[in-house]
Amino acid sequence: MTLTLYYHPLSSFCWKALIALYEADVAFEPRMVNLGDPADRAAFQAVWPIGKFPVLRDEARGQTVPESTVIIDYLARTYPAAAALVPTDPDLAWQTRLRDRLIDSYIHVPFQQIVSERLRPDDKHDPFGAEQNRANVRAGYDLIAPMIAGPWAMGETFTLADCAALPALHYADYAVPLADWPGLAAYLGRLKARPSVARVLTEAEPYFHMFPLKDG
């Protein structure tokens, strides 16, 4: 098998890449990385020195592709089955990439900062910073909600933007509930029912007890 995805099933950005691979039915070898194991970490850093996942290794093309957005863009360009994830029409393509970047920047990243704050030692918590990030997530919801005009982020076609939306909305909902954004809540429900997404969520279930906001 020429494609290997280095990932962890609880990682939200890994979900984004996994959804794309499952959606396009592109064959790959999943390589789960345990960063807490020194040998596993070293083996992964030999592939990608930064040591952050997801990373896609394409042996057939001799390419190492990091970052979830770039991985999906790479799949869309090199694997015909994944082409629909980024529209070929230039206007639709940039709009898709814009939604992806907005979702990541204004929902996904501030949510991850909330998680990081929860993981700090007891004497290092920053409640003010956490509330600022909750406010940023709420602003992100306000920004994205009007852009979801169809069943999916770009209308009738499931794209890169939807791959980005599922992990961002699914996880952020724990910290900033979507109750006041019924359109986004309904969209999240549609995403969870998508077979590619449901598969990712099912695979993550055995690890989900490790998620620090699971109980609040």
Residues lower than pLDDT 50 in the chain: 215-216
Q: Which CATH architecture has domain 3-85?
A: 3-Layer(aba) Sandwich (3.40)
Buried b (16+ CB within 10 A) or exposed e, 163-179: bbbbbbbbbbbbbbebe
Domain 90-194, what fold? Glutathione S-transferase Yfyf (Class Pi); Chain A, domain 2 (1.20.1050)
How many CB atoms sit inside 10 A of residue 64's CB?
14
Residue of 59, 51, 60, 65 whose CA lies nearest to 20: 65
Give the Cα separation of 98 and 83 in Å (integer): 18
- pTM for this prediction: 0.93
pLDDT given for residue 120 in this prediction = 58
- Measure the CA angle with vertex 108, ends 57 and 87; round to 5°: 60
Tens digits of residue pLDDT in 48-91:
999 999 999 999 999 999 999 999 999 999 999 999 999 999 99
pLDDT at res. 113: 80
CA atoms within 13 A of residue 52's CA, in its CB half-sphere: 6
Q: Report the distance separating Cα 112 and Cα 174, nearest Å.
A: 12
CA distances from 160 to 74, 82, 87, 135 (A): 11, 10, 9, 25
pLDDT of residue 209: 82
**Which pLDDT score, from 0 to 100, does residue 215 have?**
44
Please state the domain extents for the chain.
3-85, 90-194
